[in-house]
Amino acid sequence: MVKIETPYYLIDESKLLKNLKKIDYVKNQSGTKSVLALKCFSTWSVFDLMNKYMDGTTSSSLYEAKLGHEYFGKETHAFSVAYSKDDIKQLKNISDKVIFNSVSQLKMFYNEVRHLKVGLRINPGFSYSHFDLADPARKYSRLGSNSDKEIMSVLDKISGIMFHYNCENDNFKNFSDMLDRLALKYELILKKVEWISLGGGIYLTKEEYPIDKFCRKLKSFSEKYNLQIYLEPGEASITNSCELVTTVLDIVKNEKDIAIVDSSIEPHMLDLLIYRIQAKISAKAGKNEYIIAGRSCLAGDIFGTYKLASKLKIGSTVRFADAAGYTMVKKNWFNGLKMPSIVVKRLNGKVEIVKKFLYNDYIKSLS
């Protein structure tokens, strides 16, 4: 591959395609539709590939909805925890579905969007999440209506409902059991609506996931209630398709060897910092132990501790794996560090630098 200045995110379309084919398989076997969750991944330079296998996009804001409408095409699902009047004014002209987080907002804006497919997010009171921070059913959660009385009061105004209650759920039995709980708790509502979104956070593209069982479960649920099911894969659509490629700038020693690379977790892989997790690395394991750290002034700017087969030296390349989800959408200018370029390896093997960030981008982001 041609030498590219680090740091950069490298998206491999052949790896991306593996996920997309699994999503397409689920669609064909179960009758579900899948819309890309832009909050996780919105790098539109690969949308021409993704929209061949997915049915549209789902958003968490006006700007995401506009991005999906303009660059992805197909169905545009709009959702927001809270809409402003200006949001609705713009969304009503570009969206196929508008999903409200609360009954109060639905009532407030219903007349503006009644010509569209209107939905309501429901909080079932249970969920799957490894992190309280990301748990949509956490105590005092503001995400979705949990009042049966309120929900029933607007049933005549909605055509569908959304449940987003999974987070990195790779446990099929757990998914199946929770779907049964939904059916039991909301059977009357399910019989009144036309479509249901089960949200994202279902790790259906993970190796060894029982995808055929998953398809049969979805198809059975859909046929029982005569519903069009939507899934909102974010991470599942792009997992293992991207690396953050960096270069070692220095190696210092403080009891352990610490390799400092030309990147940083806070601006370039923020979820590592938020959830206190270690970056995955694309390297053979061995006996050479290093702490790999970022170049920012944050003391805890640590990608992780690794035992590698090869020794690192100044100029060594370090590749962090699974770097697509919640990275490029969260990148920022902390410390004024250079943002990683976005590079795509196309299906034909051609490597293309689709975006390079320069000093002027930094200046323009400020005031």
Residues 135 and 248 both lie in one domain? no
What sections of 240-358 are H helices per DSSP?
265-268, 270-275
Residue ending a domain, among 193, 222, 238, is 238
Q: How far from 105 is each of 102, 110, 190, 273, 306, CA to CA, in Å?
A: 5, 8, 21, 33, 49
Residues 130 and 204 both lie in one domain? yes
Mean pLDDT in the chain?
97
Mean pLDDT along residues 222-229: 97
Question: For position 187, which CATH number holds?
Answer: 3.20.20.10
Residues 213 and 353 both lie in one domain? no
Residues 321 and 340 both lie in one domain? yes
Residues 288 and 222 both lie in one domain? no
- Nearest of 314, 316, 315, 289 to residue 304 by alpha carbon: 289
Q: Is residue 2 one of the residues assigned to a domain? A: no
Q: How far from 224 is each of 148, 187, 190, 219, 292, CA to CA, in Å?
A: 22, 10, 10, 8, 52
Q: What's the total number of domains in the chain?
A: 2
Residue ending a domain, among 196, 214, 238, is 238
Q: Is residue 4 one of the residues assigned to a domain? A: no
Containing structural domain, residue 341: 240-364
Q: Is residue 1 one of the residues assigned to a domain? A: no
309 contacts 331 by C-beta, under 8 angstroms: no
Q: Is residue 6 one of the residues assigned to a domain? A: no
Which residues neighbour 52 within 8 Å (Cβ) at sequence distance 6 or greater? 20
Q: Is residue 252 one of the residues assigned to a domain? A: yes
Q: Is residue 268 one of the residues assigned to a domain? A: yes
Residues 252 and 198 both lie in one domain? no
Residues 340 and 227 both lie in one domain? no
Q: How far from 83 is each of 108, 115, 162, 255, CA to CA, in Å?
A: 10, 18, 17, 52
Question: For position 313, which CATH number holds?
Answer: 2.40.37.10
Q: Is residue 7 one of the residues assigned to a domain? A: no
Residues 61 and 199 both lie in one domain? yes
Mean pLDDT along residues 189-208: 96
Residues 71 and 162 both lie in one domain? yes
Percent above pLDDT 70 for the chain: 99
The pLDDT of residue 1 is 57
Q: Name the burial class of residue 299, with classes exposed (0-12), middle (13-18) and buried (19+) by CB atoms within 10 angstroms of its CB.
A: exposed
Helices 172-185 and 211-225: crossing angle in degrees, nearest 10, is 10
Is residue 111 pLDDT above 70, yes or no? yes
Is residue 2 pLDDT above 80, yes or no? no
Percent above pLDDT 90 for the chain: 99
Tens digit of each residue's pLDDT (9 = 90 or more) over 131-171:
999 999 999 999 999 999 999 999 999 999 999 999 999 99
Residues 81 and 226 both lie in one domain? yes
Residues 114 and 205 both lie in one domain? yes
Q: Is residue 155 one of the residues assigned to a domain? A: yes
pTM (predicted TM-score): 0.95
Confidence band of 49 (pLDDT split at 50, 70, 90) = very high
Tens digit of each residue's pLDDT (9 = 90 or more) over 246-279:
999 999 999 999 999 999 999 999 999 999 999 9
Tens digit of each residue's pLDDT (9 = 90 or more) over 10-32:
999 999 999 999 999 999 999 99
Residue ending a domain, among 238, 266, 295, is 238
- Nearest of 56, 49, 120, 41 to residue 94 by alpha carbon: 56
Residues 75 and 207 both lie in one domain? yes
Is residue 314 pLDDT above 90, yes or no? yes
